[in-house]
Amino acid sequence: MKVRKILLFTMIIVLLLLTTLSCATNPYTIPLVEELGGKNGQHFTDPANDTFGMEEFQYDILSVDMFIDETESYFIMHIIFNNPVYIPNNGFDMEGLVGYLEIDADQDPATGIEPSVNSFAPMGEPLSNMGVDYTIQFFEYDATFHTLPVYDEVLWTLTGYANIIYDETSCTLQIPLSAFPDSNGYDNDGNIDFGFVLGTYPEPTDVAHEGFSYSAGLI
Ligand SMILES: [Ca+2]
Ligand SMILES: [Ca+2]
Ligand SMILES: [Ca+2]
């Protein structure tokens, strides 16, 4: 699985079609965080200017604001970057935002797989001790339904879809808790550890995971 993820950063580039680069102006909107009545907000930060890619344009994660909606059915995650955000799978758009959101749903390093954030983190950065149970795939953005798929990393099954909207320097995900089912033994209490490796098609450019542990306040 880890090798597959690494290869995606370099292989998908050959599948892209030739079109012009365009900044994210997605007219589709999922319910805004305000409309969802997001609660139990928590703020996470990643250093600015800590990217490690080789290309001129690099995604630099600055912060993640996270909520749970009033119905306690969705995580809301607002990711802010230190650069413009470009929609992936938008033709020959080398600067589309791709990568992985890895989730340790039971906060147990003994279950799941080794996080790929550790494979991409530069020398000297702290490593993650997550046992990754689920991954949200930024490579597979569906422009029709505005979704990203969620995969079970142990069973290799599709478990759901996260809605996503892209903005000028940020993106917002609406992730159903149902995408992290209890059926495989995870204790989905709404508390998760998570981490990102994000970048462009040619390369990953930033990882963020240290201290990224969200508590939804559910029983
Ligand atoms: Ca950063
Ligand atoms: Ca785990
Ligand atoms: Ca970082």
Q: What is the pLDDT along the chain (219 residues), one digit of tens a residue?
A: 555 666 666 555 444 433 333 444 433 445 555 566 678 899 999 999 999 999 999 999 999 999 998 888 899 999 999 999 999 987 767 999 999 999 999 999 999 999 999 999 888 889 999 999 999 999 999 988 899 999 999 998 999 999 999 999 999 999 999 899 876 666 778 899 999 999 999 999 999 999 999 999 886
* Sequence-ordered list of residues with C-beta below 8 angstroms from that of 43, at least 6 positions apart, any chain: 63, 64, 65, 66
6 Cα to the center of ligand 2, angstroms: 21
Q: 185 CA distance to ligand 3 centroid (A)?
A: 31
- Integer Cα distance of 29 and 26 in angstroms: 8
Q: Tell me the CA–centroid distance for residue 6 and ligand 1, in Å.
A: 20
Measured between alpha carbons, how far is 194 from 134 in angstroms, rounded to an integer? Answer: 9
- Of all ligands present, the nearest one to the C-alpha of 208 is 3
Residues present in the chain in total? 219
Task: Indicate the pTM of the whole model.
Answer: 0.85
- CATH of the domain spanning 2-214: 2.60.40
* Whole-angstrom distance, CA of residue 160 vs CA of residue 5: 19
CA of 125 to the centre of ligand 2 (A): 21
